Amino acid sequence: PKTHNPVYTDIVCRELTGILDKKSSPIHEIIDISFNL
């Protein structure tokens, strides 16, 4: 989006968290989330 939209940001964050929480998600084949920030 061209403008800051907190509702959109919240939706995207929830969706991405759900994808990353799912251990069978294909995204885990290309990224390593085992490190701590």
**What is the structure's pLDDT at 1?**
55
Are 20 and 27 in contact, with CB atoms under 8 Å apart?
A: yes
10: confidence class by pLDDT, cuts 50, 70, 90: very high
Q: pTM here?
A: 0.60
CA 15/CA 35 separation, integer angstroms: 21
Helix (H) or strand (E) holding 13: helix 6-21
Q: Of the candidates 1, 24, 27, 5, which has an alpha carbon nearest to the alpha carbon of residue 16? A: 27
20 or 36: which carries more pLDDT confidence? Answer: 20
In terms of pLDDT, which residue wins out, 20 or 2? 20
